[in-house]
Each structure stands twice: as structure tokens, then as C-alpha cells.
Amino acid sequence: MGPQPPATVMTDSLLEMRGISKSFVGNPALIDVDLAVRRGEVHSIVGQNGAGKSTLMNVLAGVLRPEAGEIRIDGRRIAIANTADALRLGIATVYQELSLLANLSVAENIFLGRTPLRGMLIDRRKMEADARAVLEQVGCGDVDPRLPVGALPLARRQFVEIAKALSHEPSVLVLDEPTAPLGREEADRLFRIVAALKARGVAIIFISHRFAEILQHGDRVTILRNGRVVETLDMNGVTEAMLTERMIGGSAESFYAAHHPPEIADATPAAELRNIGLAGRLRDVSLAVPAGRIVAFTGLLGAGQNELARILGGDVVPDQGEVTRAGKAVDHDPRAAIRAGLCLLTEDRKAEGLFLDLSVRENITLPSLGALLRHGIIDGAAERRAVARSIDQLSIVATPTAPMRTLSGGNQQKAILARWLLRDLAVLVLIEPTRGIDVGAKADIYRDLEALARLGKAIVVISSDVPEVLGIADEIVVFVAGVIHARFVRGQVTEEELNLAIQGKE
Amino acid sequence: MTGNANAMARILPRLRHHGARSLGTLAVAVLMFAGFSLTAERFGSLPNILNLAKQMSIVGVLGIGMTPVVLIGGIDLSVGSVVLLGGTVAGALLMDGAAAWLAIPAAILTGALVGAGNGWLIERLRVSPVIVTLATMIAVRGLGLVGLERFRSWIDVSNPTFDALGVGSIAGIPASAAILLVIALLGIAVLRLTIFGRQLYAVGDNEAAARLSGVAVTRVRIAAYVICGAMAGVGGILSMVRTAVVSPSIGVGLEFSAITVVVLGGARLSGGVGRIEETLVGTAILVMVLNFLTINGIPGTWQTTVTGALILLAVLLKRGLAYRSAR
């Protein structure tokens, strides 16, 4: 906790925001926030989820109106009533959630709402030529502006999004998590574009969870915590630890000990879902599943979270998009998924999980028999040992030879869990894993999932039980109508907020 | 408390599940043997026991082949016709001067091909196994008849190897019974000790769960039909060994005997439950009943009716057991 920063000298600033306050239903989201951005600088904004970054940027973009404060450009006070005002005043924003329409062409997207006309008709030729020109600027001269955006890979869309922002010839460009969907090479290309804009005097506001990018490419950084500015720092000499400390208002170590690391974006992805589309169910969903974490997918019934889980497990074939593990595409088939270490446990134990008339032992070892062979036949002794270990580990109340149908629901669920734990899995996907299970077995299953996450496995839990989600998840992904609506990190969302998000509200 | 629960969990299921059913079938067979031996004096004699073993061979081998198909919840009505086609192929090769070591595998391969065709039609075209194998039962018998026509619909098998298999014995056991025994042991090993065996049970018990557990369901099912066809090919050879002829009527109705012995053994037609050991016991029961009727001078024409009645009896008996074990 440093002293309040001295009032910045703002004479050289292109954009000044002063004393901005904004609250939602009485909860302050921004309190007296000052931000000054210079011409030709990359100004980073950091803060935990809920610190106020997005709210501040929404005020700037004209999406939200502040209750107090003023905004000046070139020293002139301006009023931003809506997004069109912001664009006209030279403030363009590239949002984290891509805002392009998949069925329209690249050119139509870029010039949406301001298509060049010739008489009463759209001047396609001009529109496409202009689109080409801005695409050129972002190094996408090879993209055909007539193609529907849906035909482009996600990374390419991010650049189209930037081209769209640049077509407004902004003096202030806001980039909200622009590198999230990009690979390393593409991120480098993005930073080359940023450098070129910087050289032209554009002020760039850069929001990222990736500290390395901020430290490398930022000129200054403003840290937000709980809706207030903690400090604005020159990047010289700033370290990651300094940023973390100021973000969380305490030493980094105590925080990491108390919770799992908050930098979800930095965790190694155990598997990735890219541009997943499924007719009527999922629209262009991309998501990285981080190793060593419990991620919960939640949402209303039919919001797409179950389908995404089944696609991850190879059960459902998506209409578009791919599942990758360690950079390699995984076939949409349960066998291929299991071989790649992606294991699925569905909500319908009886119909899709259990072999009721086979023994507990046979139920547990079926997918792992390949590892229990000796001279091509099943090594009975090894199998018995493996099953005895599983039964012990998961405290299953049953004998290995008992038919599965004689077990209680909780023990059946544990046995299916044991089935996957026998394998060297990377990602365990569980749909409603505690539905219809007694309290004791529930607690056991939570404990097992946490232990697995600590071992570095990626755990994906699909649950519609809000307290369960809040209790076990390191990260929460909320689905609404087939898209990712919101994401939260452990401890940074209340039950009420999560419920609102599930309903599709902010 | 926990100790008690553990002990209960250990003991109860075994009694309820494995014990009752398996022992039940075996007990029925033993009681039947004892009863028949007491009422018909020749029944329990050594020559008749060896005769029973011989009679078991063809139906037993077909039943062993049928077991994996029933395990996956399928059915194969074409095996009787494959007995004719396999026999015709082997017989034709012998007639053309080929050696037994070529004729025998040719019959088995023929059966396997028919099985592969059945499996492919059922799995790829998604037609019900009853319809597919009913069609191939008719078509394959037709093919056999066409092949047999070349030899005026009758082949006399006079080959030293076949003759030796017909009259020879190993350690007192007739050769055909020994072949049944070897095949049964192999089958038991496959079902119990291989991944494929486990997968057969898994697919029959719960197809969706098997798929989600990484089992190549389609492949496993097709393999079951291939095995069934190949065993029917072996049945064709055993038929030639036993009667020394290939005639248009061989194999007629055998498909029903094969299904009967599997069901008598306690297998579940919807899949997932069944064992080759039990199929053998089922075969023994069927053969003993038919043999007992013959000894008592009841004409062979009645045997078909008895076979049908036995299926009903087995199903009712099993339901009674299931009812009791569910208590």
C-alpha cells in the first residue's frame, strides 16, 4: 500500500479521465478514478477480475455513463453519450468478446452501419477496397474481404476486429485482452501493429492478464483495485511481483497460499477448444482448459455447457471447430479422446457409465486393460492389485467381484471415477458429478477432484448447482445461449452475482 | 458398522449373482443325468456317455460361436446354413483332390466370411440382426445348394483324415468331442482373459457406456459375428466327420439348437450375460433330453417340439431365479 500518487501533470496527455465514479445497484465499481494516457504510449491497465478495468473501458467507449467525473481529449472536455460518440471522437475499442457477425463478410463487418453507398445501393467495390486497405494495416492483406467472418480462424478474426477499429482512424485505441485467442507468433504480429500505431501517435490502452506482455510492451501501467486507482507507474524497473502486490493489496505469497493462482490465462492449457460450433447449441466457443485447476462450466439448462463437455470428451461431433491437446487436434471420438487423455464422466450414470451386471473390477479396469496385459492376456494379479488400490484410494464400499448394480449411487459414481483414475489422464470432464449422491460421497468426490487438480490434472466440472460451483471451482465459465457469457476466478464472485450471470445479466 | 456393511457387501452379491445362476444350470444338468440314468438303464453306460459327448460336438461348437453374438445382444440365424455351405466348400475341395488340411480351413474361412457379411450388414447398414441373418440363412443355404448341385447334390466324404476324426479317439475321448473340448477351452480363455472378451460383455451390458469407455463397439460386434460364422464352418466339418456325407439337408434347424443351448446355459438374449462354460452345460442338457427320448423310443420327429419346450422352460426357470435373487 503506497501513498496516494501525486496528481499527475496532465498537460502532455491526449486522453484524461478525471474523478470517474460508477456504481451498479449501489455497489461502487469505480471510485474517483483518474487516468491519463499520452499520445504514442502503450498504457496498460491491470487488476483482478472485478477491479474495474472493464467498467472503466466501457465508460470510455460510451457503453456506460459515469455518475461523476469528466473526460478530456487534447484538453477539451467531451461528452460521450453512446458508442457512436466515442468512435466519432476517435476512441475505438477492441473487445475481449469478439463482436463480429459470423455470417456477414469481412468487409460488411468492418463497415457495419456505415456502408459506403452509391445512390441507394451499396458500393461493394469501394467497401471491399477500403476493407483491403485496413486489413493491409494489420498484416492481413491476404484475407479476402468477401469471405464470411465465420470462415476465418479465430486468430484471424481478432485481426479483422482490430482492422475494424482502425477503420475509424482512432486517436485512442483500447485493446481488451487482445492476445487471449492468439498464439505466440500472432501475438508478436499484434505487437508489431501496436508499435506502428504508437509511432503514428495513437494512444493505446492495453488490458491483459499476461504480465510478460505488459512488462515488455507497456510504457506505463495503471493498477486498479476494488474500483480505485492504486498507482500509475512508469514501466522502468517494474517487476511482476510489484504488480501482483499492488493488485491484491498484500504480499503475493500469502495470496497464492490462500487461493489457487489467479492468472488463469497464464496456466498451461491441458486442452483447448477452438471455435466450437454446434447447430442450435454452441456458437463459436473457444476456451483453454488449464492444467492443475478445477474449472466449472455453468449455465441454465441448454445453454451449451453440457454439449461443450461432451465435445471435449469426444462423445459429440461439433459442426465446426476442433479440440486440441498439446497442440494436436483430437478426433471427435471417445476412443481418440481417451487416448489423448481426455476422459468424460456423464450425468447419466446408469445409461452411459455403468455396466450393471459386470463386476466392480470389470467396471473399473475396462479402459485400462491394455496396461494390464502380460503376454497378450489380462494379468489377473495385476488387475486385482490395481482395483484394490482404487477401492482403497477412493474409499469405495464394495468388493471387486460384486456386480455393479448392488452398489449405492455414491459408490457407483466413485467406481466410474476410479475407472478414469486408473488411466494416465490429462483432462477429466465430469457432468453433474454429484447429482443424486449422498452428502458423504459428495464430500469424498470433491476431495478427490481437488487432489487430482493438485497433481496437475485439468478438471472440468459441469454443474448447475451454484453453491457447488462456488465451492470447488478455481475458475467459473458461465454459458448463456451457446456462448461464454462471463468468467470468474475463485473468490471473486458472490452467489448472487453468479446467479445473475447465469440469467444472462451483467 | 462399517465392518458389517463390508462383510455384507462381500458376501451377498456373490450368493445372489454368480452362485445361484451358474450352479442352478449345472445342478439341473447333474440331476437330469442322475434321473435319466436311473430310469433308462443304458443311459448311464460308458458307451452312451461317449455317444452323448459325440452328439454334443456339433451343437456345442455352434453354441460356443453363438455365445459372443448373444453376449453383444445379437443373434445369428444363419449358422445352420453355414454348416451346409462350409461342408459343401470342404467337400468340393476334397472331390477336386485337395487335401484335408486345405479343405478344413476353407470351410472355416467360408463361415468367417459369411459372419463378416452379417456383421457388416448389421452394423454398417443398421439393419436388425434377426432380419439380416434370416436373409443370409436363406441365401447362404441357397448358395450351398448351388455348390452341391455340381455333385448331384450329394458328396460322399472318403478322406483318411475325416475318417480318422470320425472313428478315432484321444485318451478314450472321441475325436469330435475332443475338438469341442479344445474349442471350448480356447473360447473360455478368450472371454475371460482377453481385452476382446471383456469388451464383448461391456458392449452387451451397456453399449453407450462401452463407447464412452473407449471400446470400438462396431468392431467388437462384427468380430462376434465373424467368430460365430467361423464356428459354424467348424460345425460343417464336424457334420462331415460324423455322417461322412454332404447332403442338402445338413444343418437344417441347427441355428435354433445353437440358440437353445446358449439360452439353456443362462445367457441373456439382450446381451451382457452368458458364458461358454454355461453354454456347454446347456448343450449337455439338450443332448441328454434328446438322447433320453431316443432311448425310450420316442420318434425323432418329436425332438423339435421338445427343443422348443426346453427354451420356454429355461426362460421360465431363469425368471424364477431372478425373482428370488432380487428379494
pLDDT tens for each residue of A85-102: 898 889 999 876 567 888
pLDDT of residue A505: 76
Give me the sign of the Cα torsion angle A450, A456, A462, A467.
positive
Phi and psi dihedrals of A67, rounded to 5? -85, -25
Write the burial class of residue B112 (CB in 10 Å: 0-12 exposed, 13-18 middle, 19+ buried). buried
A379-405 per-residue burial string, b: 16 or more CB within 10 A, e: under 16: beeebeebbeebbeebebbbbbbbbbe
Task: Give the C-alpha distances (Å, rounded to integers) separating A343 from A279, A346, A431.
Answer: 24, 10, 11
Query: Is B209 close to A354, i.e. CB distance below 8 A?
Result: yes
Rounded to 5°, the CA angle B204-B207-B208 comes to 160
Residue A253 confidence (pLDDT): 41
Q: Report the pLDDT value the prediction gives residue B90, as an integer from 0 to 100.
A: 97
Taking any CB pair shorter than 8 Å as contact, residues of chain B touching chain A are 2, 5-6, 9-10, 12-14, 16-18, 189, 193-195, 198-199, 201-202, 205-206, 208-216, 272-273
Examine the pLDDT at A190 and tell me if it is beyond 70. Answer: yes
The rounded mean pLDDT for chain A is 85
Q: Does the structure show a pLDDT above 90 at A179? A: no
**Percentages helix, strand, coil for chain B, rounded to the nearest 5?**
80, 0, 20
Least confident range of A287-291, B8-12, B196-200: B8-12
- Identify the structural domains of chain B with CATH numbers, from first to last: 24-326 (1.10.3470)
Q: What would the pLDDT profile of A333-347 be if each residue is shown by its tens digit?
A: 999 999 999 999 998
For CA atoms B130, B133, B139, B142, the dihedral sign is negative
For the stretch A196-232, pLDDT in tens is: 999 999 999 998 877 778 888 899 999 988 888 988 9
Instruction: Inform me whether the pLDDT recorded for B254 exceeds 60.
Output: yes
Residue of B2, B205, B210 with shortest CB distance to A357: B205
Q: What is the pLDDT of residue A251?
A: 53
**Which of A344, A356, A398 is the closest to B212 by Cβ?**
A344
pLDDT for the residue numbered A26: 64
Provide mean pLDDT across the span B93-105. 95
The grid coordinates listed for B156 are 460322399
Report the gap between the CA of A267 and the closest CA in chain B (Å): 28
Contact at CB, A355 and B199, closer than 8 angstroms? no
pLDDT tens for A57-88 read: 889 988 888 889 999 998 889 888 888 889 88
Question: Rounded distance, CA A364 to CA A345, Å?
Answer: 13
Q: Is the pTM of this model over 0.90?
A: no
The Cα A234–Cα B189 span in angstroms is 74
CB contact under 8 A, A406 and B194: no
Alpha helices in A154-239 (DSSP H): 154-166, 184-199, 211-217
Render pLDDT for A15-42 as a digit per residue (tens, 0 to 9): 999 999 988 766 678 999 999 999 999 9
Report the alpha-carbon distance of residue A69 to residue A15 in Å, rounded.
Answer: 13
Mutate to test the interface with A, among B192, B200, B206, B273 (most CBs of A within 10 A): B206
- Compare A149 and B123 and report the one with higher pLDDT: B123
* pLDDT above 90 as % of chain A: 40
Looking at every residue in chain B, the average pLDDT score rounds to 89
Whether the pLDDT of residue B295 is over 80: the answer is: yes
Q: Is the CB of A352 less than 8 angstroms away from the CB of B189?
A: no
The three three-digit cell numbers of residue A451, written as one number: 487432489
From CA A46, how far away is CA A53, in angstroms rounded?
7
A127, pLDDT greater than 50:
yes
* pLDDT interval class at A111 (50, 70, 90): confident
Mean pLDDT of B72-78: 97
Q: Specify whether the CB–CB gap between A250 and A449 falls below 8 A.
A: no
Split at pLDDT 50, 70, 90, the class of B19 is very low
Predicted pLDDT at B242: 92
Residue B7: pLDDT over 80: no
Report, in this order, helix, strand and coil percent for chain A, each rounded to 5.
35, 25, 35
From B229, B228, B204, select the one nearest B217 (Cα to Cα).
B204
- Give the pLDDT confidence of A460-493 residue by residue, as tens digits: 999 988 888 988 899 999 999 999 999 998 888 8
Point out the residue among B2, B17, B195 whose CB comes nearest to the CB of A369: B195
Which of A3-12, A185-194, A274-283 has the highest average model confidence (pLDDT)?
A274-283
Provide DSSP, A3-58: PPPPPPP-TTEEEEEEEEEEEETTEEEEEEEEEEEETT-EEEEE--TTSSHHHHHH
- Angle at the Cα of B195 from the Cα atoms of B23 and A352, rounded to 5 degrees: 85
Nearest Cβ partner for B216 among A335, A354, A358: A335
**Residue A228 half-sphere exposure, CB side, CA atoms within 13 Å?**
9
Phi and psi at A448, nearest 5°, equal -65, -40
- Work out the angle at residue A226's Cα, subtended by the Cα atoms of residues A225 and A231, and round it to the nearest 5 degrees: 30
The full DSSP string for B117-185 is HHHHHHHHS---HHHHHHHHHHHHHHHHHHHHHTTTT-EE---HHHHHHHH-EETTEEHHHHHHHHHHH
Model pLDDT, residue B206: 95
- Please, which pLDDT band fits residue B311 given cuts at 50, 70 and 90? confident
Average pLDDT score over residue span B244-269: 92
Q: Does the pLDDT of residue B214 top 60, yes or no?
A: yes
Predicted pLDDT at A369: 94
Q: Of the candidates B193, B195, B272, which has its C-beta nearest A370's C-beta?
A: B195
CB B212 within 8 Å of CB A315? yes
Q: Do A367 and B214 touch (CB under 8 A)?
A: yes
pLDDT band at A250 (very low <50, low <70, confident <90, very high): low
Please check whether residue B91 is in contact with residue B241, taking contact to mean a CB–CB distance below 8 angstroms.
Answer: no
CB contact under 8 A, A367 and B193: no
Distance of CA A243 to the CA centre of its chain: 21
A238 vs B283, residue with greater confidence: B283
Instruction: Give the nearest chain A residue to B17 (CA atoms).
Output: A403
Higher pLDDT, A377 or A212: A377
Out of B2, B13, B198, name the one closest to residue A362 (CB). Answer: B198
- What's the confidence (pLDDT) of residue A64? 85
- Averaged pLDDT, A432-459: 84
Which cell numbers hold the place of A124? Answer: 461493394
B17 CB neighbours in chain A (<8 A) are 402-403, 406
Would the CB atoms of A338 and B214 count as touching at under 8 Å?
yes
Identity of the highest mean pLDDT range in A70-79, A239-248, A449-458, B69-78: B69-78
Cβ count within 10 A of residue A62: 20
Joined together, the cell numbers standing for residue A244 give 501482483
Phi-psi region of B107 (alpha: psi -120 to 50; beta: other; left: phi over 0): alpha
Which residues have a Cβ under 8 Å from the Cβ of A83 and sit 6 or more positions away? A61, A62, A63
Instruction: Report the candidate in A298, A302, A342 with the shortest Cα–Cα distance to residue A322.
Output: A342
Specify the DSSP class assigned to residue A287.
Answer: E
The pLDDT, as a whole number, for residue A1 is 42
Average pLDDT rounded to a whole number, residues A387-415? 90
Classify residue A104 by its DSSP letter. Answer: S
pLDDT score at B22: 61
Q: Which residue has the cell 467368430?
A: B227
